Structure 1
């Protein structure tokens, strides 16, 4: 009998040590493996060696019967393909039953973004005489001003910000580091918060912290805490659109492309490993492209 738990543990160690996978990737893969192992138990399959094309088809059918999205099913197949590839490397007697599994590509949703009028409303609601208001404004300016992920913003340390040259060191996915510039608005908001509001918040804590963004008790702010803060700001601004931290990242990319930034530069700023990930933002600039065309092409309008 093959030990499912032991194989899963070895695979997770491989992801963490050799692949530098983020804790989110590890968490999702562990969950996908548990679902797969649960299916094998239901089918009375006691060994990973017994899994063949027939078993794989049954597994996929069970996923579709649960009405999972194509994207969710694709991720599970990707996880299990990697898992069996790892097992193949460790044991030559096992073959990868997921090698030739093909799934229809899921249509990638067009990312939502905010218009400048909506952004302006968000930037106007924080009380800059209050420690928490200064923090909230600094979070907004940082997320929009750099396009960083909420997890990257939450993990930002004081030493990561270099005000002398206006850049931040961001620790991204897969422990990859990148430097990102920030502008005057973000600089003012961060300097105000760090020199005033952050000191007030830090004085409430029992332990010191190098984290840039702190909660009301002076402890490092969590990613969930940032989302709650953004929800409150949206309510204060009386916006009807749903705004989450990632939408500010989408907005950052969209506004840069609309103003003529090249895709390769935006890829570097976002920390995307592949240009394909960045290309999705070109879909939300079609209105802008039409305006450019109408204003620039000699035969677009009657003279």
Structure 2
């Protein structure tokens, strides 16, 4: 994760959350200067309470910026930042949401780590168009679960859908977070570094017990990675879901967060109130929760229009025009 700014270059396809691709040869790998800068930026992010995921993403974006020019950021300024951001838009065709992450990373780097805020004070954010997602049906979720290749993936997908967790929250669950006595899941350090409790459905508990009995994870992590003490990478879940969608012939866009969309929408359709759903999802603002109400066709169908309360009226009669006498010539 180092901002060994020479090391790894830009994330794949411009995605700030992606894996790094080939490195730049313009800066020597392992440079003490770059290593110190990386450590300072990481420390500055920690001091401002940024999550592990945010820190990793900002550091990747900063690496990409340095790799693009092949020289330390201290030797660059406003012009290089501007040209790089234009490059992201015009050459790499980044979506506004991805562009905004790069912009935020560079603003942080120059404002806090390099203490040169005047170089980036002009940077704004691009307006993100919010499209309504296509919601998976219950039957489609069932087909996805049937086509997953391993019990571990099945347990993770069931956890994301059954408890409404973000995939990063699923990956970081520990065994002790599953409270089968009270039938709740303890989500630690969710988005915004907030803890919360969410539901533990009996069907999910059965799946987790079957997974535990079959694989018996050796450490505290419920879904460990390949190396001891690590957790599984969320990209693995995305790849497994994509393959399962192909096998199950689910033609909607399937990704880990689609399971959380489905959880929220299906609960709303079942009559769950927005405030309860807000707590389950861990939203700081109920406005974030209210977005899910926009994508529920069942809720729209159940809502009565005021037009249905109008009295039935007869169709208007076509008026006959009076015959006119011919004008005298």
Q: Shorter-chain-normalised TM-score: which range?
A: 0.7 to 0.9
| Structure 2 equivalent of residue 261 of structure 1 | 272
Distance 1:300 1:212 in 2: 57
User: Could you tell me how far apart the structure 1 residues matched to 2:120 and 2:42 are?
Assistant: 19
* CA deviation string 1:145-185 (max 9, x = no partner): 11112222122222111111110111223543211112232
1:290 correspondence with 2:292: no
Unaligned runs of 5+ in 2: 1-32, 314-329
The Cα of 1:252 is off from its aligned counterpart by: 0.9
Q: Hey, what's the Cα distance between the residues in 2 that align with 1:296 and 1:111?
A: 28
Which residue in 2 is equivalent to 1:211? 221
Would the alpha carbon gap of residues 86 and 289 (structure 1) be closer, same or farther in structure 2, given more than 3 Å must change? same
Stretch moving more, 30-39 or 225-234: 225-234
Distance 1:61 1:186 in 2: 47
Unmatched 5+ residue regions in structure 1?
A: none
Q: Which has the higher helix share?
A: 1
Contact between 1:231 and 1:243, CA under 8 Å: does it hold in 2?
A: yes
How far does the alpha carbon of each residue in 1:264-292 deviate from its partner, in whole angstroms, 9 at most, with x for none?
A: 4333322234445444423312x334312
Q: Which has the higher contact order (CA 8 A, sep 6+)?
A: 1
Pick one of 92, 97, 109 that aligns with 2:131.
109
> What is the CA deviation profile of residues 228-262 of structure 1, one whole-angstrom value per residue up to 9, with x for unaligned ones?
44345445544333432221111112222333434
| Whole-Å separation in 2 of the counterparts to 1:46 and 1:137 | 47
Deviation of the 1:118 alpha carbon = 1.6
CA shift digits 1:46-78 (9 cap, x unpaired): 535xx34x5544343333221322222222111
Q: Identify which of 183, 187, 199 aligns with 2:201.
A: 183
Residue 109 of structure 2: aligned partner:
83
Which is further off, 221-230 or 153-162? 221-230
Aligned residue number for residue 143 of structure 1: 160
How many residue pairs get aligned? The number is 278
Instruction: Identify the residue that residue 17 of structure 2 maps to in structure 1.
Output: none
1:75-111 C-alpha deviation (Å, 9 max, x unpaired): 21112222233147xx5xx333322333441212333
| Preserved CA contact (<8 Å) 1:209 1:220 | no
Equivalent pair of 1:293/1:300 in contact (CA under 8 Å): no
Query: Is the alpha carbon distance of 1:138 and 1:46 closer, same or farther for their aligned partners in structure 2, counting shifts above 3 Å?
Result: closer
Contact 1:201 1:215 in 2 (8 A): no
State the secondary structure of the residue aligned to 1:96.
helix
2 CA distance for matches of 1:215 and 1:59? 35
> Residue 230 of structure 1 corresponds to which residue in structure 2?
241
1:166 matched to 2:183: yes
> After superposition, where does 1:20-59 map in structure 2 within 5 Å?
20-38=49-67, 47=75, 51-52=77-78, 56-59=81-84
Match of 1:64 among 59, 78, 89: 89
In 1, the alpha carbon distance for the partners of 2:236 and 2:311 equals 51
Q: Give the TM-score of the pair, scaled to structure 1.
A: 0.73
Equivalent residue number for residue 240 of structure 1: 251
Matched, 1:11 2:41: yes
Q: Conserved in 1, the CA contact under 8 Å of 2:293 and 2:299?
A: no
RMSD, aligned α-carbons: 3.7
Change (3 A) 1:72 1:237: closer
**TM-score (normalizing by structure 2):** 0.68
CA contact (8 A) 2:99 2:126 kept: no
Q: 1:154 aligns with which of 171, 182, 193?
A: 171
The alpha-carbon deviation at position 10 of structure 1 amounts to 0.5
